[in-house]
Amino acid sequence: MPVSALRVTTAAEAAARDHAAIAAGTGSFDLMLQAGTTAAAALLRDHAGRLAHGVALFAGSGNNGGDAYIVAAQLARAGVAVRVHAAAPPRTPDAIRAMHLASPALVHGVPTGHERLVVDGLLGTGHKGELRDPVLAACTRVALARDGGATVIALDVPSGLDATTGDVAEGSPAAHTTLCFGTIKRGLLVSRGHAGRIVLLDIGLGAEFGGDPDRADGAWHLPNGQDLARWLPPIAWNAHKGRRGRIAIVGGHEGMAGAVILAARAALAAGAGLAHAIVDGPSVAAVQLTVPQALAERWPVRESAANTGARDDHTTLHRCDALAIGPGLGRGTRSSQLLERVVNEHRDRPLVLDADALWLIAEVANTLGTESAALLRHWTRHSRAVVCTPHEGEFARLLGTAVPAAWDARVDALRQFATRGGVTMLLKGTPTIVATPDGGPITVVPHGTPLLATGGSGDMLSGLIVALFGQGLAPLEAAVCAATVHGRAAELATKQLGGVRGGTLEAVFDALPSAWRLLEHPVSFPPGVLADLPSPA
Protein backbone atom coordinates (compact mmCIF):
# COMPACT_ATOMS: atom_id res chain seq x y z
CA MET A 1 0.00 0.00 0.00
CA PRO A 2 1.47 3.38 -0.94
CA VAL A 3 2.52 5.70 1.84
CA SER A 4 0.07 8.31 0.58
CA ALA A 5 -2.90 6.12 1.52
CA LEU A 6 -5.17 7.56 4.19
CA ARG A 7 -5.42 5.80 7.51
CA VAL A 8 -8.92 4.85 8.68
CA THR A 9 -9.07 4.76 12.46
CA THR A 10 -11.08 3.43 15.35
CA ALA A 11 -12.09 5.82 18.10
CA ALA A 12 -9.14 4.63 20.21
CA GLU A 13 -6.68 5.10 17.34
CA ALA A 14 -7.98 8.60 16.66
CA ALA A 15 -7.54 9.48 20.33
CA ALA A 16 -4.02 8.02 20.27
CA ARG A 17 -3.17 10.21 17.31
CA ASP A 18 -4.42 13.30 19.14
CA HIS A 19 -2.42 12.37 22.24
CA ALA A 20 0.72 11.79 20.17
CA ALA A 21 0.38 15.24 18.61
CA ILE A 22 -0.09 16.78 22.05
CA ALA A 23 2.93 14.90 23.40
CA ALA A 24 4.94 16.25 20.45
CA GLY A 25 4.15 19.81 21.50
CA THR A 26 0.80 20.74 19.96
CA GLY A 27 -1.62 22.09 22.55
CA SER A 28 -4.97 20.33 22.89
CA PHE A 29 -6.82 23.63 22.51
CA ASP A 30 -4.76 24.39 19.41
CA LEU A 31 -6.09 21.15 17.87
CA MET A 32 -9.64 22.19 18.76
CA LEU A 33 -9.08 25.65 17.32
CA GLN A 34 -7.70 24.17 14.10
CA ALA A 35 -10.59 21.70 13.82
CA GLY A 36 -13.23 24.36 14.31
CA THR A 37 -11.53 26.83 11.99
CA THR A 38 -11.16 24.34 9.12
CA ALA A 39 -14.75 23.18 9.59
CA ALA A 40 -16.01 26.77 9.44
CA ALA A 41 -13.98 27.37 6.28
CA ALA A 42 -15.56 24.28 4.70
CA LEU A 43 -19.05 25.51 5.58
CA LEU A 44 -18.38 28.98 4.18
CA ARG A 45 -17.03 27.47 0.98
CA ASP A 46 -19.71 24.81 0.39
CA HIS A 47 -22.86 26.30 1.95
CA ALA A 48 -22.74 30.06 1.43
CA GLY A 49 -26.32 30.16 0.17
CA ARG A 50 -27.76 28.38 3.18
CA LEU A 51 -25.60 30.36 5.61
CA ALA A 52 -27.29 33.53 4.37
CA HIS A 53 -30.35 32.35 6.33
CA GLY A 54 -28.32 31.79 9.48
CA VAL A 55 -27.01 28.64 11.11
CA ALA A 56 -28.08 26.67 14.17
CA LEU A 57 -25.36 24.86 16.10
CA PHE A 58 -26.07 22.18 18.69
CA ALA A 59 -23.25 21.82 21.20
CA GLY A 60 -22.65 19.04 23.70
CA SER A 61 -20.72 19.27 26.94
CA GLY A 62 -17.52 17.61 25.70
CA ASN A 63 -14.83 18.48 23.19
CA ASN A 64 -17.16 17.92 20.24
CA GLY A 65 -19.22 20.75 21.67
CA GLY A 66 -16.01 22.76 21.96
CA ASP A 67 -15.43 22.23 18.25
CA ALA A 68 -18.95 23.53 17.62
CA TYR A 69 -18.27 26.70 19.64
CA ILE A 70 -15.15 27.39 17.57
CA VAL A 71 -17.14 26.87 14.36
CA ALA A 72 -19.77 29.26 15.67
CA ALA A 73 -17.20 31.92 16.52
CA GLN A 74 -15.56 31.71 13.09
CA LEU A 75 -18.90 31.88 11.26
CA ALA A 76 -20.01 34.85 13.36
CA ARG A 77 -16.80 36.68 12.49
CA ALA A 78 -17.64 36.08 8.83
CA GLY A 79 -20.98 37.82 9.29
CA VAL A 80 -23.20 34.75 9.61
CA ALA A 81 -26.15 34.92 12.01
CA VAL A 82 -25.33 32.18 14.50
CA ARG A 83 -27.58 30.65 17.15
CA VAL A 84 -26.18 28.03 19.54
CA HIS A 85 -28.21 25.55 21.54
CA ALA A 86 -26.18 23.97 24.35
CA ALA A 87 -27.58 20.59 25.36
CA ALA A 88 -25.53 20.92 28.56
CA PRO A 89 -22.88 23.32 29.88
CA PRO A 90 -19.34 22.56 28.69
CA ARG A 91 -17.41 20.38 31.13
CA THR A 92 -13.90 19.93 29.66
CA PRO A 93 -11.32 22.71 30.03
CA ASP A 94 -10.94 23.11 26.26
CA ALA A 95 -14.71 23.19 25.67
CA ILE A 96 -15.15 25.80 28.42
CA ARG A 97 -12.41 27.90 26.88
CA ALA A 98 -14.00 27.58 23.43
CA MET A 99 -17.40 28.68 24.76
CA HIS A 100 -15.91 31.78 26.41
CA LEU A 101 -14.04 32.60 23.21
CA ALA A 102 -17.20 32.35 21.15
CA SER A 103 -19.81 33.79 23.53
CA PRO A 104 -19.50 37.51 22.69
CA ALA A 105 -20.52 36.89 19.09
CA LEU A 106 -23.29 34.35 19.66
CA VAL A 107 -27.00 34.19 20.35
CA HIS A 108 -27.76 31.37 22.76
CA GLY A 109 -31.03 29.50 22.88
CA VAL A 110 -33.32 27.25 20.90
CA PRO A 111 -32.94 27.71 17.11
CA THR A 112 -35.73 29.63 15.43
CA GLY A 113 -36.44 26.94 12.85
CA HIS A 114 -35.76 29.30 9.96
CA GLU A 115 -32.11 28.25 9.69
CA ARG A 116 -31.37 26.20 6.59
CA LEU A 117 -28.09 24.85 7.96
CA VAL A 118 -27.74 22.88 11.21
CA VAL A 119 -24.44 21.79 12.75
CA ASP A 120 -24.40 18.72 15.00
CA GLY A 121 -21.67 19.09 17.62
CA LEU A 122 -23.39 17.15 20.41
CA LEU A 123 -21.33 13.97 20.69
CA GLY A 124 -17.97 12.94 19.27
CA THR A 125 -15.89 9.81 18.84
CA GLY A 126 -15.81 8.96 22.53
CA HIS A 127 -19.52 8.17 22.78
CA LYS A 128 -20.82 4.60 22.88
CA GLY A 129 -24.24 3.18 23.58
CA GLU A 130 -27.69 4.72 23.90
CA LEU A 131 -28.61 8.38 23.72
CA ARG A 132 -30.08 9.95 26.83
CA ASP A 133 -31.57 13.33 27.63
CA PRO A 134 -30.69 16.13 27.37
CA VAL A 135 -28.60 15.05 24.36
CA LEU A 136 -31.41 12.83 23.04
CA ALA A 137 -33.80 15.78 23.08
CA ALA A 138 -31.26 17.91 21.20
CA CYS A 139 -30.74 15.12 18.65
CA THR A 140 -34.49 15.04 18.11
CA ARG A 141 -34.41 18.77 17.30
CA VAL A 142 -31.63 18.17 14.77
CA ALA A 143 -33.62 15.38 13.14
CA LEU A 144 -36.74 17.56 13.00
CA ALA A 145 -34.74 20.34 11.35
CA ARG A 146 -33.55 17.87 8.72
CA ASP A 147 -37.11 16.69 8.13
CA GLY A 148 -38.04 20.34 7.65
CA GLY A 149 -35.52 20.79 4.85
CA ALA A 150 -32.41 21.93 6.71
CA THR A 151 -29.00 20.57 5.75
CA VAL A 152 -27.35 18.76 8.67
CA ILE A 153 -23.56 18.89 9.07
CA ALA A 154 -21.99 16.59 11.68
CA LEU A 155 -18.65 17.38 13.30
CA ASP A 156 -16.35 14.31 13.22
CA VAL A 157 -19.26 11.83 13.56
CA PRO A 158 -23.05 12.14 13.66
CA SER A 159 -24.07 12.16 17.32
CA GLY A 160 -24.95 8.64 18.41
CA LEU A 161 -22.95 6.86 15.71
CA ASP A 162 -20.23 4.62 17.18
CA ALA A 163 -16.99 5.79 15.58
CA THR A 164 -15.50 2.28 15.67
CA THR A 165 -18.35 -0.14 14.95
CA GLY A 166 -20.72 2.06 12.98
CA ASP A 167 -23.62 1.12 15.28
CA VAL A 168 -26.28 3.84 15.22
CA ALA A 169 -28.12 4.60 18.46
CA GLU A 170 -31.86 5.16 18.37
CA GLY A 171 -32.52 8.86 17.93
CA SER A 172 -29.20 9.58 16.21
CA PRO A 173 -29.73 12.26 13.53
CA ALA A 174 -28.45 11.35 10.07
CA ALA A 175 -26.09 13.86 8.48
CA HIS A 176 -26.00 15.16 4.93
CA THR A 177 -22.26 15.76 5.40
CA THR A 178 -19.79 14.68 8.09
CA LEU A 179 -16.67 16.81 8.53
CA CYS A 180 -13.92 14.51 9.87
CA PHE A 181 -10.98 15.88 11.80
CA GLY A 182 -7.57 14.40 10.97
CA THR A 183 -8.65 10.85 10.17
CA ILE A 184 -11.70 9.11 8.75
CA LYS A 185 -13.38 7.10 11.47
CA ARG A 186 -14.11 3.47 10.67
CA GLY A 187 -17.73 3.63 11.78
CA LEU A 188 -18.51 6.24 9.13
CA LEU A 189 -17.57 3.79 6.37
CA VAL A 190 -19.66 1.03 7.94
CA SER A 191 -22.73 3.32 8.17
CA ARG A 192 -22.23 5.43 5.05
CA GLY A 193 -25.92 6.15 4.68
CA HIS A 194 -26.03 7.78 8.12
CA ALA A 195 -22.84 9.81 7.63
CA GLY A 196 -23.66 11.16 4.16
CA ARG A 197 -20.84 12.87 2.33
CA ILE A 198 -17.56 12.48 4.25
CA VAL A 199 -15.04 15.32 4.08
CA LEU A 200 -11.67 14.74 5.75
CA LEU A 201 -10.14 17.96 7.08
CA ASP A 202 -6.46 18.53 7.78
CA ILE A 203 -6.07 19.78 11.35
CA GLY A 204 -2.28 19.65 11.37
CA LEU A 205 -1.74 16.23 12.93
CA GLY A 206 0.89 15.39 10.34
CA ALA A 207 2.56 12.01 10.66
CA GLU A 208 2.31 11.86 14.47
CA PHE A 209 0.61 8.66 15.61
CA GLY A 210 0.55 6.58 18.76
CA GLY A 211 2.15 3.29 17.72
CA ASP A 212 3.04 2.18 14.24
CA PRO A 213 0.47 3.56 11.77
CA ASP A 214 1.41 0.94 9.18
CA ARG A 215 1.15 -2.09 11.42
CA ALA A 216 -0.87 -4.85 9.80
CA ASP A 217 -2.94 -5.86 12.81
CA GLY A 218 -6.23 -3.98 12.58
CA ALA A 219 -5.02 -1.29 10.16
CA TRP A 220 -7.40 0.01 7.50
CA HIS A 221 -6.10 2.07 4.59
CA LEU A 222 -8.03 4.15 2.08
CA PRO A 223 -6.14 4.80 -1.18
CA ASN A 224 -6.36 8.35 -2.42
CA GLY A 225 -7.34 9.39 -5.91
CA GLN A 226 -3.77 9.98 -7.02
CA ASP A 227 -2.84 6.41 -6.09
CA LEU A 228 -5.69 4.99 -8.14
CA ALA A 229 -4.92 7.17 -11.15
CA ARG A 230 -1.28 6.15 -11.01
CA TRP A 231 -2.17 2.46 -10.90
CA LEU A 232 -4.32 2.65 -14.04
CA PRO A 233 -2.22 2.13 -17.18
CA PRO A 234 -2.88 4.70 -19.90
CA ILE A 235 -4.36 3.41 -23.13
CA ALA A 236 -2.15 4.74 -25.91
CA TRP A 237 -3.84 6.45 -28.84
CA ASN A 238 -2.14 4.06 -31.24
CA ALA A 239 -2.97 0.94 -29.20
CA HIS A 240 -4.50 -2.02 -31.02
CA LYS A 241 -6.72 -4.70 -29.49
CA GLY A 242 -3.80 -7.04 -28.87
CA ARG A 243 -2.13 -4.46 -26.64
CA ARG A 244 -5.18 -3.76 -24.49
CA GLY A 245 -5.29 -7.18 -22.88
CA ARG A 246 -6.84 -10.48 -23.91
CA ILE A 247 -9.00 -12.01 -21.20
CA ALA A 248 -11.28 -15.01 -20.82
CA ILE A 249 -14.31 -15.55 -18.61
CA VAL A 250 -15.24 -19.17 -17.93
CA GLY A 251 -18.76 -19.95 -16.76
CA GLY A 252 -22.21 -19.67 -18.28
CA HIS A 253 -23.70 -23.09 -17.56
CA GLU A 254 -26.89 -23.84 -19.47
CA GLY A 255 -29.53 -21.38 -18.27
CA MET A 256 -26.95 -19.09 -16.65
CA ALA A 257 -25.39 -17.32 -19.63
CA GLY A 258 -26.38 -13.95 -18.20
CA ALA A 259 -23.60 -14.02 -15.62
CA VAL A 260 -20.87 -14.36 -18.25
CA ILE A 261 -22.61 -11.81 -20.47
CA LEU A 262 -22.50 -9.21 -17.69
CA ALA A 263 -18.88 -10.02 -16.87
CA ALA A 264 -17.84 -9.82 -20.52
CA ARG A 265 -19.61 -6.49 -20.99
CA ALA A 266 -17.86 -5.11 -17.92
CA ALA A 267 -14.46 -6.36 -19.09
CA LEU A 268 -14.89 -4.66 -22.44
CA ALA A 269 -16.04 -1.47 -20.71
CA ALA A 270 -12.86 -1.60 -18.61
CA GLY A 271 -10.72 -1.47 -21.72
CA ALA A 272 -10.06 -5.13 -22.54
CA GLY A 273 -8.99 -5.49 -26.15
CA LEU A 274 -10.29 -9.04 -26.57
CA ALA A 275 -12.79 -10.84 -24.36
CA HIS A 276 -13.41 -14.57 -24.68
CA ALA A 277 -16.54 -16.09 -23.16
CA ILE A 278 -15.96 -19.79 -22.52
CA VAL A 279 -19.44 -21.15 -21.83
CA ASP A 280 -21.52 -24.30 -21.86
CA GLY A 281 -22.61 -25.27 -25.37
CA PRO A 282 -26.25 -24.15 -25.06
CA SER A 283 -25.09 -20.71 -23.86
CA VAL A 284 -22.91 -19.86 -26.86
CA ALA A 285 -25.75 -18.40 -28.94
CA ALA A 286 -26.93 -16.17 -26.10
CA VAL A 287 -23.46 -14.66 -25.72
CA GLN A 288 -23.10 -14.15 -29.47
CA LEU A 289 -26.44 -12.37 -29.68
CA THR A 290 -26.03 -10.09 -26.66
CA VAL A 291 -22.28 -9.34 -26.66
CA PRO A 292 -21.16 -9.56 -30.28
CA GLN A 293 -17.80 -7.98 -29.34
CA ALA A 294 -16.96 -11.05 -27.25
CA LEU A 295 -15.65 -14.29 -28.73
CA ALA A 296 -17.92 -17.08 -27.54
CA GLU A 297 -16.64 -20.66 -27.33
CA ARG A 298 -17.85 -23.90 -25.78
CA TRP A 299 -16.31 -25.35 -22.66
CA PRO A 300 -13.37 -27.56 -23.64
CA VAL A 301 -14.28 -31.16 -22.88
CA ARG A 302 -11.25 -33.38 -23.30
CA GLU A 303 -13.02 -36.74 -23.42
CA SER A 304 -15.32 -35.69 -26.26
CA ALA A 305 -12.81 -33.71 -28.28
CA ALA A 306 -12.25 -36.41 -30.87
CA ASN A 307 -15.95 -36.61 -31.66
CA THR A 308 -17.01 -32.97 -31.38
CA GLY A 309 -14.01 -31.01 -32.53
CA ALA A 310 -13.89 -29.18 -29.20
CA ARG A 311 -10.41 -28.02 -28.25
CA ASP A 312 -8.83 -30.30 -25.70
CA ASP A 313 -5.82 -28.18 -24.80
CA HIS A 314 -7.44 -24.88 -23.75
CA THR A 315 -5.62 -23.10 -26.57
CA THR A 316 -7.69 -19.97 -26.07
CA LEU A 317 -6.94 -19.82 -22.36
CA HIS A 318 -3.21 -20.24 -22.97
CA ARG A 319 -3.28 -17.13 -25.18
CA CYS A 320 -5.03 -14.97 -22.60
CA ASP A 321 -3.37 -12.47 -20.30
CA ALA A 322 -5.85 -13.09 -17.45
CA LEU A 323 -8.72 -15.43 -16.63
CA ALA A 324 -11.89 -15.31 -14.56
CA ILE A 325 -13.90 -18.37 -13.65
CA GLY A 326 -17.12 -18.70 -11.74
CA PRO A 327 -19.91 -16.47 -13.12
CA GLY A 328 -22.78 -18.84 -13.88
CA LEU A 329 -20.38 -21.82 -13.80
CA GLY A 330 -22.84 -24.14 -12.10
CA ARG A 331 -22.22 -26.55 -9.25
CA GLY A 332 -22.33 -29.97 -10.89
CA THR A 333 -19.60 -32.49 -11.62
CA ARG A 334 -18.75 -31.04 -15.04
CA SER A 335 -18.39 -27.58 -13.54
CA SER A 336 -16.16 -28.86 -10.74
CA GLN A 337 -13.92 -30.73 -13.17
CA LEU A 338 -13.63 -27.69 -15.42
CA LEU A 339 -12.71 -25.47 -12.48
CA GLU A 340 -9.95 -27.82 -11.36
CA ARG A 341 -8.56 -28.10 -14.88
CA VAL A 342 -8.51 -24.35 -15.46
CA VAL A 343 -6.85 -23.64 -12.11
CA ASN A 344 -4.28 -26.43 -12.42
CA GLU A 345 -3.38 -25.96 -16.08
CA HIS A 346 -3.09 -22.16 -16.09
CA ARG A 347 -1.17 -21.38 -12.92
CA ASP A 348 0.89 -18.75 -14.70
CA ARG A 349 -2.17 -16.64 -15.58
CA PRO A 350 -3.66 -14.01 -13.27
CA LEU A 351 -6.94 -15.46 -12.07
CA VAL A 352 -10.22 -14.16 -10.64
CA LEU A 353 -12.30 -16.70 -8.69
CA ASP A 354 -15.92 -15.74 -8.08
CA ALA A 355 -19.44 -17.03 -7.52
CA ASP A 356 -19.86 -20.75 -8.27
CA ALA A 357 -16.09 -21.25 -8.38
CA LEU A 358 -15.95 -20.28 -4.70
CA TRP A 359 -18.89 -22.56 -3.89
CA LEU A 360 -17.15 -25.47 -5.60
CA ILE A 361 -13.84 -24.78 -3.84
CA ALA A 362 -15.62 -25.04 -0.49
CA GLU A 363 -17.40 -28.21 -1.65
CA VAL A 364 -14.20 -29.92 -2.81
CA ALA A 365 -12.38 -28.91 0.36
CA ASN A 366 -15.18 -30.35 2.47
CA THR A 367 -15.08 -33.60 0.50
CA LEU A 368 -11.31 -33.86 0.97
CA GLY A 369 -11.58 -33.02 4.66
CA THR A 370 -9.41 -29.93 4.37
CA GLU A 371 -9.85 -26.17 4.65
CA SER A 372 -10.78 -24.08 1.62
CA ALA A 373 -7.72 -21.88 2.19
CA ALA A 374 -5.43 -24.92 2.14
CA LEU A 375 -7.00 -26.16 -1.09
CA LEU A 376 -6.61 -22.73 -2.68
CA ARG A 377 -2.94 -22.61 -1.72
CA HIS A 378 -2.42 -26.05 -3.26
CA TRP A 379 -4.26 -25.17 -6.45
CA THR A 380 -2.58 -21.80 -6.93
CA ARG A 381 0.83 -22.51 -5.40
CA HIS A 382 2.71 -21.48 -8.54
CA SER A 383 0.77 -18.27 -9.09
CA ARG A 384 0.78 -15.15 -6.92
CA ALA A 385 -1.86 -13.30 -8.94
CA VAL A 386 -5.18 -14.65 -7.67
CA VAL A 387 -8.16 -12.58 -6.51
CA CYS A 388 -11.21 -14.14 -4.83
CA THR A 389 -14.34 -11.99 -4.67
CA PRO A 390 -16.85 -13.51 -2.22
CA HIS A 391 -19.89 -11.84 -0.78
CA GLU A 392 -20.64 -12.56 2.87
CA GLY A 393 -22.49 -15.82 2.18
CA GLU A 394 -19.73 -17.16 -0.06
CA PHE A 395 -17.07 -16.19 2.45
CA ALA A 396 -18.98 -18.00 5.20
CA ARG A 397 -19.00 -21.13 3.06
CA LEU A 398 -15.25 -20.84 2.47
CA LEU A 399 -14.68 -20.39 6.21
CA GLY A 400 -17.03 -23.20 7.16
CA THR A 401 -18.68 -20.91 9.71
CA ALA A 402 -20.59 -17.65 9.91
CA VAL A 403 -18.70 -14.48 9.05
CA PRO A 404 -18.11 -12.53 12.29
CA ALA A 405 -20.41 -9.55 12.74
CA ALA A 406 -17.80 -7.53 14.64
CA TRP A 407 -15.54 -5.72 12.19
CA ASP A 408 -12.28 -6.47 14.00
CA ALA A 409 -13.05 -10.20 13.90
CA ARG A 410 -14.28 -10.00 10.29
CA VAL A 411 -11.11 -8.26 9.16
CA ASP A 412 -8.98 -10.76 11.06
CA ALA A 413 -10.80 -13.69 9.42
CA LEU A 414 -10.34 -12.20 5.95
CA ARG A 415 -6.66 -11.45 6.53
CA GLN A 416 -5.96 -14.94 7.88
CA PHE A 417 -7.77 -16.58 4.95
CA ALA A 418 -5.80 -14.49 2.44
CA THR A 419 -2.53 -15.43 4.14
CA ARG A 420 -3.31 -19.15 4.42
CA GLY A 421 -4.71 -19.34 0.90
CA GLY A 422 -1.98 -17.26 -0.73
CA VAL A 423 -4.59 -15.14 -2.50
CA THR A 424 -5.95 -11.60 -2.47
CA MET A 425 -9.41 -11.58 -0.88
CA LEU A 426 -12.03 -8.97 -1.77
CA LEU A 427 -15.03 -9.22 0.55
CA LYS A 428 -17.94 -7.38 -1.02
CA GLY A 429 -20.11 -5.30 1.29
CA THR A 430 -20.51 -1.94 3.00
CA PRO A 431 -17.69 -1.16 2.90
CA THR A 432 -15.80 -3.56 0.63
CA ILE A 433 -12.53 -4.68 2.20
CA VAL A 434 -9.47 -6.21 0.53
CA ALA A 435 -6.80 -8.36 2.22
CA THR A 436 -3.49 -9.43 0.67
CA PRO A 437 -1.58 -12.70 1.12
CA ASP A 438 1.36 -10.92 2.75
CA GLY A 439 -0.79 -10.01 5.76
CA GLY A 440 -0.51 -6.27 5.11
CA PRO A 441 -3.04 -3.59 6.04
CA ILE A 442 -6.63 -3.92 4.92
CA THR A 443 -7.61 -1.70 2.00
CA VAL A 444 -11.12 -0.34 2.25
CA VAL A 445 -13.30 0.70 -0.70
CA PRO A 446 -16.11 2.92 0.64
CA HIS A 447 -18.00 3.49 -2.59
CA GLY A 448 -21.31 2.04 -3.73
CA THR A 449 -25.07 2.19 -3.18
CA PRO A 450 -27.86 -0.41 -2.81
CA LEU A 451 -28.16 -0.25 -6.60
CA LEU A 452 -25.41 -2.90 -6.51
CA ALA A 453 -27.42 -5.15 -4.17
CA THR A 454 -28.85 -7.15 -7.04
CA GLY A 455 -28.09 -10.27 -9.03
CA GLY A 456 -25.33 -9.81 -11.58
CA SER A 457 -23.50 -7.05 -9.72
CA GLY A 458 -20.74 -9.43 -8.64
CA ASP A 459 -20.36 -10.73 -12.19
CA MET A 460 -19.91 -7.16 -13.36
CA LEU A 461 -17.17 -6.64 -10.75
CA SER A 462 -15.37 -9.82 -11.81
CA GLY A 463 -15.31 -8.59 -15.39
CA LEU A 464 -13.81 -5.28 -14.32
CA ILE A 465 -11.10 -7.00 -12.26
CA VAL A 466 -10.07 -9.50 -14.93
CA ALA A 467 -9.81 -6.71 -17.53
CA LEU A 468 -7.45 -4.74 -15.29
CA PHE A 469 -5.50 -7.94 -14.60
CA GLY A 470 -5.13 -8.33 -18.36
CA GLN A 471 -3.73 -4.79 -18.59
CA GLY A 472 -0.95 -5.64 -16.16
CA LEU A 473 -2.23 -4.44 -12.78
CA ALA A 474 -1.17 -6.31 -9.65
CA PRO A 475 -3.88 -8.18 -7.69
CA LEU A 476 -4.44 -5.49 -5.05
CA GLU A 477 -4.41 -2.70 -7.64
CA ALA A 478 -6.83 -4.51 -9.96
CA ALA A 479 -9.21 -5.38 -7.13
CA VAL A 480 -9.25 -1.91 -5.57
CA CYS A 481 -9.51 0.02 -8.85
CA ALA A 482 -12.31 -2.24 -10.09
CA ALA A 483 -14.27 -2.06 -6.84
CA THR A 484 -13.83 1.72 -6.77
CA VAL A 485 -15.08 2.32 -10.31
CA HIS A 486 -17.92 -0.16 -9.71
CA GLY A 487 -19.01 1.73 -6.61
CA ARG A 488 -18.54 5.17 -8.14
CA ALA A 489 -20.65 4.17 -11.15
CA ALA A 490 -23.40 3.08 -8.77
CA GLU A 491 -23.19 6.40 -6.93
CA LEU A 492 -23.41 8.36 -10.18
CA ALA A 493 -26.31 6.24 -11.40
CA THR A 494 -28.19 6.58 -8.12
CA LYS A 495 -27.78 10.34 -8.22
CA GLN A 496 -28.95 10.47 -11.84
CA LEU A 497 -31.99 8.32 -11.03
CA GLY A 498 -32.82 10.26 -7.88
CA GLY A 499 -32.79 7.05 -5.85
CA VAL A 500 -32.35 3.30 -6.06
CA ARG A 501 -35.83 2.00 -6.79
CA GLY A 502 -36.46 1.79 -10.51
CA GLY A 503 -32.77 1.44 -11.34
CA THR A 504 -31.05 -1.67 -12.67
CA LEU A 505 -27.49 -2.67 -13.49
CA GLU A 506 -28.00 -1.05 -16.90
CA ALA A 507 -27.87 2.32 -15.15
CA VAL A 508 -24.55 1.32 -13.57
CA PHE A 509 -23.17 0.26 -16.95
CA ASP A 510 -24.30 3.58 -18.42
CA ALA A 511 -22.40 5.43 -15.67
CA LEU A 512 -19.13 3.53 -16.14
CA PRO A 513 -17.58 6.02 -18.62
CA SER A 514 -18.06 8.89 -16.17
CA ALA A 515 -16.77 6.75 -13.30
CA TRP A 516 -13.61 5.91 -15.26
CA ARG A 517 -13.02 9.61 -15.95
CA LEU A 518 -13.24 10.31 -12.21
CA LEU A 519 -10.69 7.58 -11.55
CA GLU A 520 -8.32 8.69 -14.32
CA HIS A 521 -8.52 12.39 -13.47
CA PRO A 522 -8.92 12.82 -9.71
CA VAL A 523 -10.08 16.20 -8.54
CA SER A 524 -7.85 18.51 -6.54
CA PHE A 525 -9.20 19.31 -3.09
CA PRO A 526 -9.41 22.82 -1.63
CA PRO A 527 -6.80 23.81 0.96
CA GLY A 528 -7.34 21.98 4.22
CA VAL A 529 -9.25 19.07 2.65
CA LEU A 530 -7.55 15.65 2.47
CA ALA A 531 -10.42 13.56 1.07
CA ASP A 532 -14.02 13.96 -0.06
CA LEU A 533 -16.25 10.88 -0.30
CA PRO A 534 -19.61 11.58 -1.96
CA SER A 535 -22.82 10.61 -0.22
CA PRO A 536 -24.10 7.17 -1.27
CA ALA A 537 -27.71 8.40 -1.19
Binding region for AMP: 428-432, 458
Pairing verdict, β 295-298 and 274-279: parallel
Q: What's the N-to-C CA distance of the chain in angstroms?
A: 29
By the 8 A CB rule, do 310 and 278 touch?
no
Helices and strands (DSSP H and E) totals, the chain = 21, 20
Q: How far apart are CA 42 and CA 33, in angstroms?
A: 14
User: Which 3 state secondary structure label does DSSP give 58?
Assistant: strand
What residues does 185 pair with on adjacent strands? 9
Q: Which residues are annotated as a binding site?
A: 63-67, 120, 124-130, 156, 159, 259, 328, 391, 428-432, 458-459
Residue 5, Cβ neighbours under 10 Å: how many? Answer: 18
**CB 515 within 8 Å of CB 472:** no
What is the sign, positive or negative, of the torsion defined by CA atoms of 302, 306, 311, 315? positive
Residue from 443, 448, 397, 409 nearest 424 by CA: 443
Torsions phi, psi of 474, nearest 5?
A: -70, 165
What CA–CA distance (Å, rounded) separates 88 from 65? Answer: 9
Q: Which residues are annotated binding-site positions for (6S)-NADPHX?
A: 63-67, 124-130, 156, 259, 328, 391, 459
CA–CA separation, 269 vs 341, rounded Å? Answer: 28
**Alpha helices, H only, 153-237:** 186-190, 192-195, 225-231
C-alpha R_g of the chain: 26
Q: Is 341 helix (H, G, I), strand (E, B) or coil?
A: helix
CA-closest candidate to residue 53, choices 138, 151, 121: 151
Contacts of residue 315, defined as CB under 8 A and 6 or more positions apart, other chains included, come to none
* Cα distance between residue 164 and residue 158, in whole Å: 13
Which three-class secondary structure state does DSSP give residue 187?
Answer: helix
C-alpha to C-alpha distances, 216 to 75, 221, 227, 235, nearest whole angstrom: 41, 10, 20, 34
Q: What CA–CA distance (Å, rounded) separates 441 from 438?
A: 9
Nearest in space to 56 (alpha carbons), one of 167, 129, 152: 152
Distance of CA 36 to the CA centre of its chain: 27
168 bridge partner residues: 161
Torsion of CA 51, 56, 60, 62, to 10 degrees: 20
Annotated binding site for K(+): 64, 120, 159
